[in-house]
A = this chain, B = another copy of it.
Amino acid sequence: TALKLGMIPADGIGKEVLPAAQRVLEALGSSIPKTTFIPLQAGWEEFQRNGKALPEETIKILKEECDAAMFGSVSSPSHKVEGYSSPIVALRKHLDLYANVRPVSSVKIPNQSSYHQCDMVIVRENTECLYIKKEEIKTNSDGSKIALATRQITSTASSRIGKMAFEIALRRGKEREQAKSQGKSVWWNGQPKVTIVHKSNVLSITDGLFRESVRSVKESTNRYDSIKMEEQLVDSMVYRMFREPEIFDVAVAPNLYGDIISDGAAALVGSLGLVPSINAGDNFVMGEPVHGSAPDIEGQNIANPIASIRSAALLLSSLGYVEPASRINAAVDAVLEEGQYLTPDLGGKSSTTDVTEAILKRL
């Protein structure tokens, strides 16, 4: 078998970090199937060039030719631009990538002052909530304006993201047991846990449905009996993540809360430049660093390639190539723990290329 990967660097530093991930994948050689990389267009820059943020061609090739994809990062116009709509949101929808899985874990980097013990996975619903983009605006007779957006929560989408969260908790529990039996130290010694994040004290109907749907995933089977289930209101979640991040294992959240808490978690581990994600559906998966396009550092070869490289590892592991994925992660951890090659976001002076090459050496 061979792999065809759609590569969509999109905007800003996406164009610098995605090639880094590609170099790492290429370096794996025969431990993964022969991989072809297909460059594809999307983004705000593409919109400015050709009037489409997400060309049909890109969707067509992804659907018809690719086994999976990697996405860089998007910029957005600072104000509403007629005809422009976020291509990453659209891609998630088009490919039915209903789960955004974001593992956030701390690595001991030498000389990093703020060090939080954190090893959690955020499982973000990726298709609905306020991201359905149903918005309208009206002008009143006095000239004032009223804008409305619709937030949609369905039992179907909430259950399937809930199931994903419990499955991940189950797998993490097993991995920890295995690590312990090999004499490795693990942070989390407790029972695997899923924390449901919502705001049902205000949104009793929509978030009430999310909460109930996720709860029934556990309650309707004995498969998840070993997993603890807890809840946090989203405001309280942000508070606790910063006060005691070590208490979280897997968190599952509707789209917008998931977006917000994953940036929060990224701050805990030192940099958004470290946090990977995959957008996963039943038939397709797309790796994507959690960071944005960072226009302020674009083109300087100083963006941290690690989020993107780790996203490639996540992608591999979700395709079943667990062993090569672990090799990538081990190489990344080694470089971080050594602390010699760090980009400026981590207080270092290395370039994107330096860090990538350091990782390649340790593969």
Contact = CB atoms under 8 A, between A and B. Distances in A.
Given A130-B203, A135-B205, A144-B155, A267 B238 contact: yes
B242 A260 contact: no
A149 B235 contact: no
Interface of A: 76, 78-80, 85-86, 89, 114, 130-131, 133, 135-137, 144-156, 199-206, 208-209, 211-212, 231, 234-236, 238-243, 256, 259-264, 266-268, 272, 292
Nearest to A261: B238
15 contacts: A86-B201, A86-B202, A114-B114, A130-B203, A133-B203, A135-B206, A147-B205, A149-B150, A149-B153, A199-B256, A235-B260, A236-B292, A239-B263, A242-B264, A243-B267
Contact of A146 (B154, B202, B238, B264): B154
Given A79-B212, A147-B205, A236-B263, 16 more contacts: A79-B200, A79-B208, A80-B205, A80-B208, A85-B204, A130-B203, A144-B155, A145-B154, A147-B153, A147-B209, A235-B259, A235-B260, A235-B262, A236-B292, A238-B261, A239-B263
A202 B266 CA distance: 20
A206 B152 contact: no
Contacts of A149: 150-151, 153, 203, 205-206
Contacts of A264: 238-239, 242, 264
A176 to B, nearest CB: 27
Copies of this chain, tallied across the complex = 2
Nearest to A270: B243
Contacts of A135: 203-206
Closest 8 CB pairs of A and B: A135-B205, A242-B267, A76-B201, A235-B263, A239-B263, A145-B155, A149-B151, A147-B209
B202 A131 contact: yes
A152 B138 CA distance: 11
A152 B145 contact: no
A106 to B, nearest CB: 14
A149 to B, nearest CB: 4
A31 B154 CA distance: 56
Given A80-B204, A135-B204, A238-B267, A148 B147 contact: no
Contacts of A89: 202
Nearest to A201: B76
Contacts of A206: 135, 147-149
A76 B236 CA distance: 14
Contacts of A239: 263-264, 266-267, 272
A156 B144 contact: yes
Q: Which of A131, A200, A206, A272 has the most CB of B within 10 A?
A: A206
A293 B133 CA distance: 35
Nearest to A345: B243
Contacts of A202: 86, 89, 130-131, 133
